[in-house]
Amino acid sequence: MQHLYKSINQQKTEQKYIAQLVTEGYELDKLIEIYKFWLDTDEDIELIKKIYDAYDPINEEEDNHWVEEVYNQITENKYGGIKPRTNSCIL
């Protein structure tokens, strides 16, 4: 039960963080795309803003894996470069 409570509180914190970014003018659709990627990392939630701030719309038009590419850039391939998933499930 304690694990469930911790998970619910964590989700509320994440929602507040995303909501704050939206009120600052960040686009929700891009934040959601980054958030889905962030869930699979062990990085702090501030990574979402870092990826968004480093976003280049030119790369998105050419490649639909822009989040992974920006992550690799800002972490200087910390994990050897994350390869985009080809069979990922979209929620």
pLDDT of residue 10: 72
36-67 residue pLDDT tens = 999 888 899 999 999 999 987 765 555 568 89
pLDDT at residue 45, as a whole number: 93
The pTM (predicted TM-score) of the whole model is 0.72
Q: Which SS3 state, helix, strand or coil, does residue 91 take?
A: coil
Q: What is the mean pLDDT of the chain?
A: 78
Give the N- to C-terminal CA distance of the chain in Å, as an integer: 26
**Distance between CA atoms of residues 4 and 61, nearest Å:** 39
